Structure 1
Amino acid sequence: MKTLSGKLEQLLLRAVDNEEIAGANILILKEGKEIAYAQAGYADRAEKKFYERDTIARLYSMTKPVTAAAAMLLMERGLLDPGGFVEDFLPGFHNASVAEGKGRTPARRPMRICELLNMTSGLVYGGDTTSISSIETEKLFHKVSERLLGKDALTTVEIANSLGLVPLAFHPGDSWQYGASADVLGAVIEIISGVPFGEFLKKEFFEPLGMKDTAFHVPQEKQERLAKVYERTPDGLILYADSHLGVPNAMAQPPAFESGGAGLVSTLDDYEKFASMLLAEGSYAGGQIIKPQTVRYMTQAELLPWQQDVLEQGWEGLSGHTYANLLRIVTQPGKACMMTTKGEYGWDGWLGAYFANSPKDKLTMLLTFQLKDAGTTSLTRRLKNTVWSELC
């Protein structure tokens, strides 16, 4: 009988052989102990560098749970009020407007910080050519990318203030849409803490947790461990080297823009420390990073009914879930399109990084690969179903 590690390895090898991915690794923990690990394929196909346990991956949106935890830490210290207004910290959000037809209308009220945490702010991402909000956001991030590594590169706070000038897709609180909220939240955290966002994360999370490979860039001495990014084409996988959402592909130098929504790199073992800390209600290696009640607030929240309706109608892959505090949270396992347990939470990333914690099962799953436009893929679901069917 194959071990769980062997089953997962076979699934990864098949995905590599079928050119679903170039390479990947996966780590499973139960009750705080490693149960399974598997890897397959290449981090760099041209150089024949294997995808290893210490391979560094771009997290993209799996950055968001870290940003949420930072906000929770400031909240428990009495420094951040989720009900407070974004415009009190970022003047670009004064007199915010909402797209209406071909014009704008004033927002009915200021945006609240909790609406950044829940993606109910009206901020969006680019890519939707039918939405003025999305078109203007796309233009802004194009400008960010043009100036990405130059002397005039836009900073975290400058970008957040610029997002405040873009017309919102809806009045704050009226609906739900995935977008640039976490980038604005990162800027709010920077302003409240009085230090650069990345410095705050390093001091409060990465150093106490021993996350030595997690940062907003990859220094020269670690560059050989950074996986290449690939994209699928009719002719198979090809190298993808463009930047996306203001995050440089090479990750070679400290960026002016420390994206709270997409900017971190990490390894399986590093992110496991963060995930395990949350699963242990904020404790790690005898220390308390966040208080238990804060973790419970972070991981047990829900959208309001009308916001939940929009989520369920617009994002099929999140059936059975709510979304709050920059996390997907399982509320009705029977509606989900893969095996899960009520109360499970986590998120994924644009290039395929995936994270799930199940408090009921005391189970953590972490997966990384680097594939353009991935998110939660069929491979991710097949791997997760294998894990949950064996351990839950």
Structure 2
Amino acid sequence: MLEPTAIQLLQKTLKTSISNKEIAGANFMIIKDGREVFYHEDGFADIEAGRRITRDSIFRLYSMTKPVTATAVMMLLERGAIDLFDPVSRYIPGFKNQQAEKNGELVPVSREVDIHDLLNMTSGLTYGGTDKAGQYADALFQELSSRLNGDNPMSTLEFANRLGEGPLSFEPGSSWQYGTSADVLGAIVEAVSGMRYSEFLAKEIFGPLGMQDTGFSLPEEKRSRLANIYQEDKEAGLKLYTDSHLGVHCQMDREAVFESGGAGLVSTIDDAAKFTTMLMNQGSLNGVQLLKPRTVQYMTSAGLTAWQQQGFDSWHSLCGHSYGNQMRIMTNPGQAGCLGGQGEYGWDGWLGAYFTNSPQDGLTILFMVQKKDAGTMPVTRKLRNIVFSSL
């Protein structure tokens, strides 16, 4: 159990963040050696209606979707259905005959993007930016959004195929850049399995783990549990945000046609805990084995070469970390900007949903929040510093 002092500090730190209108509300959970040792909720899921955060509040995961997608790919790997050096064009034809930007010009790539590149974000795909690849991605996301509520919404496979038809920021494997790689991985799972991505996840991951509140959309009876998104506002402190970012329906109130492997899932803290505990248990939970221990070991290891790491090292708040299979991996705790453990891994989302697993400590931390442009926030690091310092 946590010491009473640590519990008081966690509750006070979270309450202070809510009082300062940094966040509207949050769920926070600590699991130690497979057992929940702390859970706390505070604040609002809907400020305007006075609806408070509860344990069954539903949150948009955004990029915390990515480790789920990596798990799906690892399941295909274990079954011999894919090879990590398979060219993406084998499954997504748009990735044939690609070009990459070099010195401001587009030149043919020396080798095709492969699945390994996608897993480690070394593909040259990006979320946007000023270079040709970034401009292409921006335009594609604008089209995705404009078609979202129309008669012809873009599908998972169409989006991935269109991405492949655009330029890359760099030669595959030559650097690291955070981007749309996981969306393409979701489309590959569709192509290989012959199922919609949502169907594969429901059958192979969510069903077996008992994750009943996780998916790409919400049935009507669950929508009242969805937490609102808030953004910073100079006058009010926080104001409601309702845009559908990256092609993900803000209200999750209709079946998704574009099922984003990089950003599309919603979940609860208890469902997320089932997924993170499965990884901590070397691929199994309650007698269900999704992945073999050797596969989990591979999936949670740093995957970047020395020159790829140089691209990742520009992410200042992730000093002391590397990257692999859609997750951060702590490689040097002494260089990190927060307390942590060697080999600790996890990821967060654009709206602040966050998890970390530290195998050497037998520790999982989960933090669920909905704040625009949040990622890993100062309050997230404050909370985890309290936890790690009390071990």
Q: Please confirm whether the aligned pair reaches a TM-score higher than 0.5, indicating the same fold.
A: yes
Q: Does 1:53 align with 2:55?
A: yes
Structure 2 unaligned residues grouped into runs of 5+: none
Residue identity in the other structure for 1:119: M
User: Following TM superposition, by how much is the alpha carbon of 1:169 offset from its aligned partner in structure 2, in angstroms?
Assistant: 0.2
Of stretches 162-171 and 91-100 in structure 1, the one that deviates more from structure 2 is 91-100
**Residues 157-181 of structure 1 deviation map (CA, whole Å, 9 limit, x = unaligned):** 0000000011100000000000000
Query: CA 1:297 to 1:82, structure 2 compared with 1: closer, same or farther past 3 Å?
Result: same
Say whether the 8 Å CA contact 1:62–1:348 is kept in structure 2. yes
Match of 2:119 in 1: 117
Match of 2:286 in 1: 285
Secondary structure at the residue paired with 1:37? strand
The aligned length equals 388
User: Following TM superposition, by how much is the alpha carbon of 1:5 offset from its aligned partner in structure 2, in angstroms?
Assistant: 3.7
How do 1:229-308 residues align onto structure 2 when only pairs under 5 Å count? 229-235=229-235, 236-308=237-309
Match of 1:67 in 2: 69
Match of 1:44 in 2: 46
Match of 1:92 in 2: 94
Residue identity in the other structure for 2:73: A
Residue identity in the other structure for 2:350: W
Say whether the 8 Å CA contact 1:96–1:106 is kept in structure 2. yes
Say whether the 8 Å CA contact 1:98–1:104 is kept in structure 2. yes
Residue identity in the other structure for 1:363: L
Alpha-carbon distance in 1 for matches of 2:311, 2:113: 19
Q: 2:110 aligns with which of 81, 94, 108?
A: 108
How do 1:216-227 residues align onto structure 2 when only pairs under 5 Å count? 216-227=216-227
Say whether the 8 Å CA contact 1:5–1:38 is kept in structure 2. no
Say whether the 8 Å CA contact 2:59–2:266 is kept in structure 1. yes
Q: CA RMSD in A?
A: 1.0
TM score, norm. by length of structure 2: 0.98
Alpha-carbon distance in 2 for matches of 1:5, 1:247: 36
Query: CA 1:33 to 1:3, structure 2 compared with 1: closer, same or farther past 3 Å?
Result: farther
Q: Does 1:189 align with 2:189?
A: yes
Q: Does 1:80 align with 2:82?
A: yes
**Residues 129-186 of structure 1 deviation map (CA, whole Å, 9 limit, x = unaligned):** x222111101100100111132200100000000001110000000000000000010
Secondary structure at the residue paired with 1:333? coil
Structure 1 unaligned residues grouped into runs of 5+: none
User: Following TM superposition, by how much is the alpha carbon of 1:349 offset from its aligned partner in structure 2, in angstroms?
Assistant: 0.3
Match of 1:354 in 2: 354
Alpha-carbon distance in 1 for matches of 2:189, 2:287: 26
Q: Does 1:377 align with 2:377?
A: yes
Secondary structure at the residue paired with 1:335? coil
Say whether the 8 Å CA contact 1:5–1:37 is kept in structure 2. no
Match of 2:342 in 1: 342
Say whether the 8 Å CA contact 1:321–1:336 is kept in structure 2. yes
Alpha-carbon distance in 2 for matches of 1:301, 1:153: 37
User: Following TM superposition, by how much is the alpha carbon of 1:253 offset from its aligned partner in structure 2, in angstroms?
Assistant: 1.0
Residue identity in the other structure for 1:10: K
TM score, norm. by length of structure 1: 0.97
Residue identity in the other structure for 1:268: I
Secondary structure at the residue paired with 1:293? helix
Match of 1:203 in 2: 203
User: Following TM superposition, by how much is the alpha carbon of 1:100 offset from its aligned partner in structure 2, in angstroms?
Assistant: 3.6
Alpha-carbon distance in 1 for matches of 2:360, 2:88: 35
User: Following TM superposition, by how much is the alpha carbon of 1:102 offset from its aligned partner in structure 2, in angstroms?
Assistant: 4.9
User: Following TM superposition, by how much is the alpha carbon of 1:6 offset from its aligned partner in structure 2, in angstroms?
Assistant: 3.4
Residue identity in the other structure for 2:187: A
Of stretches 148-157 and 350-359 in structure 1, the one that deviates more from structure 2 is 148-157
User: Following TM superposition, by how much is the alpha carbon of 1:121 offset from its aligned partner in structure 2, in angstroms?
Assistant: 0.1
Alpha-carbon distance in 2 for matches of 1:372, 1:101: 34
Q: Between the two proteins, what is the percent identity of the paired residues?
A: 51
User: Following TM superposition, by how much is the alpha carbon of 1:286 offset from its aligned partner in structure 2, in angstroms?
Assistant: 1.4
Alpha-carbon distance in 1 for matches of 2:88, 2:275: 27
Say whether the 8 Å CA contact 2:217–2:254 is kept in structure 1. yes
Say whether the 8 Å CA contact 1:90–1:161 is kept in structure 2. yes
Residue identity in the other structure for 2:305: L
Residue identity in the other structure for 2:380: T
**Residues 208-255 of structure 1 deviation map (CA, whole Å, 9 limit, x = unaligned):** 100000000111101110000000021110100001111111111111
Alpha-carbon distance in 2 for matches of 1:4, 1:296: 31
How do 1:125-164 residues align onto structure 2 when only pairs under 5 Å count? 125-126=127-128, 128=129, 130-164=130-164
Alpha-carbon distance in 2 for matches of 1:9, 1:233: 25
Match of 1:178 in 2: 178
Say whether the 8 Å CA contact 2:209–2:288 is kept in structure 1. no
Query: CA 1:3 to 1:208, structure 2 compared with 1: closer, same or farther past 3 Å?
Result: farther
